[in-house]
């Protein structure tokens, strides 16, 4: 079970990074749901990522942009 969760985590990280994002934080939480009658464990993966965007030329002319 734990190895499956880690494989899924790696897959999600690879997908996010493939889109040009840099992972800055990652948390994997495994638990048994108190609301479900099954004994199957569940997992929550929280990914924090950042991506820089190049400014458009239009942005330079935007009167609402603070430099």
How does residue 1 score in pLDDT terms, banded at 50, 70 and 90? Answer: low
How does residue 58 score in pLDDT terms, banded at 50, 70 and 90? Answer: low
CA dist., res. 54 & res. 18, Å (int) = 18
| Element of type H or E holding 3 | helix 2-18
Torsion of CA 58, 24, 26, 4, to 10 degrees: 90
Q: What's the pLDDT tens digit per position in 7-21?
A: 999 999 999 999 999
CA dist., res. 17 & res. 12, Å (int) = 9
Q: What's the pLDDT tens digit per position in 12-51?
A: 999 999 999 999 999 999 888 777 667 778 889 999 999 9
How does residue 2 score in pLDDT terms, banded at 50, 70 and 90? Answer: confident
């Amino acid at each position: 079970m734990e190895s499956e969760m880690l494989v899924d985590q790696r897959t999600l990280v690879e997908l996010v990074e493939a889109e040009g994002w840099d992972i800055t934080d990652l948390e994997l939480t495994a638990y048994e749901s108190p609301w479900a009658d099954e004994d199957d464990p569940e997992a929550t993966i929280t990914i924090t990522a950042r991506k820089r965007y190049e400014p458009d030329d239009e942005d330079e002319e935007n009167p609402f942009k603070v430099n």
